[in-house]
Structure 1
């Protein structure tokens, strides 16, 4: 069954993964009862798929035991989380005691505990099911686990970013690289880090951030493959490695809880630049090009006041309207043939710069 199971749970079919998981839970819930919070000896276990979760939302699995709703589970394979998705689901099912985010070990998305969720890995669920006394459950879970393991790229610190195997899935290869880097991050105390899907929905972004000295501002670092997601091929070929551009790292000042970027403090950003400039000499010097008229006018004034023209890349009015945040800063580009170990080292070093920037007092210059 190891090979045929790929038809039931292909990596690109997240709904099929949730369907099969629901079937295994109903066949034998006992191996995963602790992981999903179903109680010591759950009985009469049922799973509702795509349960309504308010305002058009639907949660992947709503698990009941003994007639009581016990667990809300959101299952992810390659996709990321929508803006505020978990909080909305939590609010809708506030009286359900367990809220679980299921992701792969290779593509971890850590559930925000502050929102009342906890993370469970697909592999842990499948390992538990593999020990089931039900032969169908045990055989299916073992084959599924074998399939997952075989689909994951084999990476190490010496793997080059653009060292792609002919015929492997390009999106999976790129996401696996960023996920590997993310797992090596060891930022100093005070710096948070997470792994998110990009707004474009294909690549993944490793992020580091810390609160700045001015209310509603954070210093924010994002690392993402520079190749446009519109240019992502489905599978790699002999020349695909030539198109990979390597991780681009943005170091920005982010303003939160806004619906427009018109009030962004460009003077504050310019006051951070001397520390950024001192930290490294490889900032990309292509001129920034803010799109919204008010962003462009503020950037031009910042340049007139002595700031560099390349300070101001980022996301402005559109992101403020869609995500209630905006950010501007500068970026540096890592080579496409960088090893994953060197990418992780660069981000760990940048986390220390981030902390220094966050500690700088807000001042008008």
Structure 2
């Protein structure tokens, strides 16, 4: 059987088209989606609505209703990430739905986070369910859609080399696929958690490990991110200087719930350094250069006490004013030729260090 050339109806750059087609399929046969979401009841009463204007700032992609009640809210993603507080806004605007669902490609994971109230659902899982539709048109479209999706997104595995990007491929999506794969390999022991977030610039993606530290409002935070500045990310991979530099791993002590970094406990970070030094010897030795005067003073204090000058990289006063947190620590730079399998092993090897750092007791105030 020749499958329809569905790529012409579903360009990867248009989430609107993907949402429209999904709405058509659900309206034609709601049974596969209802089974996936655990929604019971008569299917003849299901109504599908697109971009429901709940309020001026909140327009969920798809809302499923039954007998006038909203039973499911669906947000659809293809290549893009989430906007700031996007899911929180939608849930607040539609607080009475039974299920909240975020749909995204399995190779470009979007981490909704535990406790968010949103259920992650990959396009692959959704479309596989629709392959079993009793409606032949729906089943055929789902099969064509799966085949199209499989060929349109980067396929990576443990043998993939970080900087092995084919010329002409989307640079951002290629790196995001690599970071998504890494996120899927991490399985830190409790209470360490991990997630995948977009950078503050919204271009690069960051895989993180984190756990609460011994001191209130502090936590141990590991961030893995491509080291090429996001301002230099090209649209397409190709020859030239704007190539991946390789994954950078920051191991930091983060302070949260603040409005300034002036109160950051630099001596607490210094107390953690012996464990970090014992854990590995490949820390980047470029001196840290905090920008704010009080951050520089704190850094100079621990350097005078014998901590290397390269301990103290991170984000200080500016970040504290933006998102109520600051972080300082040390960094490891991995080669751009590292395979994803080796990268996953390297990051996984930090579980023990993170656990040990979390147990460090902060020094008594001077």
TM-score, structure 1 as length reference: 0.92
Please show how residues 141-160 of structure 1 align to structure 2 within 5 Å. 141-160=142-161
CA distance in 1, matches of 2:322, 2:37: 33
What does residue 281 of structure 1 align with?
281
Q: Report how far residue 115 of structure 1 moved.
A: 2.4
In 2, Cα distance between equivalents of 1:311 and 1:83: 31
Match of 1:363 in 2: 363
3-state secondary structure, aligned to 2:6: helix
Query: Within 2, Cα distance between the matches of 1:137 and 1:79?
Result: 26
Residue by residue, what CA displacement relative to the aligned partner does 1:312-338 show, whole Å, maximum 9, x if unpaired?
Answer: 211222322222222111110000001
C-alpha change, 1:325 and 1:53, in structure 2 (3 Å) is farther
Q: Which runs of 5+ in 2 are unaligned?
A: none
Per the TM alignment, residue 258 of structure 1 is displaced from its structure 2 partner at its CA by: 1.9
Q: Shift of residue 54 of structure 1?
A: 5.7
Deviates more, 1:52-61 or 1:13-22: 52-61
Q: What is the number of equivalent residue pairs in this alignment?
A: 364
**Corresponding residue of 1:223:** 224
2:184 maps to which residue? 183
CA distance in 2, matches of 1:324, 1:74: 28
Query: Runs of 5+ in structure 1 lacking a partner?
Result: none
1:34-45 superposed matches below 5 A: 34-45=35-46
- Contact 2:23 2:62 (8 Å CA) reproduced: yes
Work out whether residues 43 and 66 of structure 1, in 8 Å CA contact, stay in contact via their aligned partners in 2.
no
In structure 1, the partner of 2:112 is 111
Instruction: Give 1:195 shift.
Output: 1.2
- Please say if residues 3 and 140 of structure 2, whose CA atoms lie closer than 8 Å, have aligned partners that are also in contact: no
- Structure 1 window deviating more from structure 2 (51-60 vs 134-143): it is 51-60
Q: CA RMSD in A?
A: 2.2
User: 2:19 & 2:255 partners in 1: Cα distance?
Assistant: 37
Report the equivalent of 1:24. Answer: 25
State the partner residue of 1:326. Answer: 326
SS in 2 for 1:173: helix
Please report how far the alpha carbon of residue 284 of structure 1 lies from its aligned counterpart in structure 2 after TM superposition. Answer: 0.7
- Seen in structure 2, the aligned counterparts of structure 1 residues 241 and 33 have a Cα distance that, compared at 3 Å, is farther
Give the match for residue 344 of structure 1.
Answer: 344
In structure 1, how many angstroms separate the alpha carbons of the residues matched to 2:10 and 2:267? Answer: 52
- Cα displacement string for residues 95-130 of structure 1 (whole angstroms, at most 9, x for unaligned residues): 211111212111222333312222111111111122
Cα distance per residue 1:232-265 (max 9 Å; x no partner): 222222x369721110000011112222222221
TM-score, reference length from structure 2: 0.92
The equivalent residue for 2:299 is: 299
CA distance in 1, matches of 2:314, 2:50: 39
Task: Please say if 1:11 is aligned against 2:25.
Answer: no
Paired residue for 2:52?
51
